[in-house]
């Protein structure tokens, strides 16, 4: 697995950098674990666009991912590592000892033929899932639950990993990829190791067409619009945004404006994530 660059034989190839797909061992998905997904192009039930710049893209089927890993004590063999068009990480097809097949997010260093397990009897090795109270301090983890038994919700993207820092009673301190330190119940389950496909962040699309294949439509600058379409629009020539600062198309502050309303979970955050240097 690595990044592949190209000779600048065209404008689209000049800035192109893609993944080599060396880690992918099978191109055919497991049909029993695929479901059809109907596209809505960013529209809600009334047909109104609620998420802009979405639409088109290649057809794809959704792969059902096992985020709960509740087959405790049943060993599983990694049959293949596959590409998933619905996420940045690779997925691994597990075949359990009883014959059942399930997809999981493929961890780094997990290869075809490896034996994985979950539950209180599982070993501390990449790909195994268990409750946080059984994981040693300092271990890198991913696929972390926020509520016991609900399934993994945190740290699921390509190359992501969190670190278990401390355990205090029924809660554990986990440092997230953003640098935020958060309290999570020790009864919640997590997977050992780091998510694979670590080179995903180095991919460069190279041309607008590849973004359209992914279902991303063009994004127009607000300053290029008219005043009725955007608060930044209008004026003669190129005008600055002006006071009091940048706004969304609906007049709400943006770029640094705090929108978090979940004050009931503030006590679960030990340290806020690190601010980026602009």
CA dihedral for 45, 49, 53, 56, sign (positive or negative) = positive
49: which strand partners? Answer: 43
* Residue 18, domain CATH: 2.40.50.140
- Please check whether residue 109 lies inside any domain of the structure: yes
**pLDDT for res 276:** 61
Residue 44 has which token pair? Answer: 């809600």
Q: Which residues of the chain have pLDDT under 70?
A: 1, 275-278
Residue 129 lies in domain? 3-201
**pLDDT for res 242:** 84
Between CA 132 and CA 136 the distance in angstroms is 8
- Please check whether residue 231 lies inside any domain of the structure: no
- Please check whether residue 39 lies inside any domain of the structure: yes
Give me the chain's average pLDDT, please: 94
Residue 237 has which token pair? Answer: 């020539």
- Please check whether residue 251 lies inside any domain of the structure: no
- Please check whether residue 197 lies inside any domain of the structure: yes
CA dihedral for 126, 129, 135, 141, sign (positive or negative) = positive
Q: What is the domain count for the chain?
A: 1
Asked if residue 202 lies in contact with residue 159, where contact means CB atoms within 8 angstroms, the answer is no
- Please check whether residue 219 lies inside any domain of the structure: no
pTM of the model: 0.89
Residue 231 has which token pair? Answer: 């608060």
- Please check whether residue 126 lies inside any domain of the structure: yes
- pLDDT tens digits, 43-69: 999 999 999 999 999 999 999 999 999
How far from 225 is each of 61, 90, 217, 250, CA to CA, in Å? 36, 40, 17, 13
**pLDDT for res 277:** 56
Tell me the residue length of the chain: 278
Closest CA to 248 of 231, 229, 227: 231
- Please check whether residue 12 lies inside any domain of the structure: yes
- pLDDT tens digits, 245-268: 999 999 999 988 888 888 888 899
């Amino acid at each position: 697995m690595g990044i592949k660059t190209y000779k600048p034989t065209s404008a689209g190839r000049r800035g192109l950098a893609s993944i080599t797909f060396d880690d992918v061992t099978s191109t055919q998905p497991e049909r029993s674990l695929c479901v059809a997904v109907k596209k809505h192009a960013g529209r809600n039930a009334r047909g109104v666009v609620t998420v802009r710049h979405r639409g088109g893209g290649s057809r794809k089927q959704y792969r059902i991912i096992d985020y709960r890993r509740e087959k405790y004590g049943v060993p599983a063999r990694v049959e293949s590592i596959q590409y998933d068009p619905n996420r940045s990480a690779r997925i691994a097809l597990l075949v359990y000892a009883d014959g059942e097949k399930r997809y999981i997010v493929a961890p780094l260093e997990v290869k075809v033929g490896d034996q994985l397990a979950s539950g209180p009897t599982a070993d501390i090795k990449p790909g195994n899932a268990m409750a946080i109270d059984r994981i040693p301090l300092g271990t890198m983890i991913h696929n972390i639950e926020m509520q016991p038994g609900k399934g993994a919700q945190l740290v699921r993207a390509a190359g992501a990993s969190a670190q278990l820092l401390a355990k205090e009673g029924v809660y554990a301190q986990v440092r997230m990829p953003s640098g935020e330190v958060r309290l999570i119940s020790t009864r919640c389950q997590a997977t050992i190791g780091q998510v694979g496909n670590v080179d995903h962040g180095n991919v460069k699309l190279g041309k607008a067409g590849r973004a359209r294949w992914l279902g991303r439509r063009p994004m127009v600058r607000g300053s290029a619009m008219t005043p009725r379409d955007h608060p930044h629009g209008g004026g003669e020539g190129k005008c600055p945004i002006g006071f009091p600062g940048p706004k969304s198309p609906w007049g709400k502050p943006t770029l640094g404006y705090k929108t978090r309303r979940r004050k009931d979970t503030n006590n679960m955050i030990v340290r806020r994530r690190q601010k980026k240097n602009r």
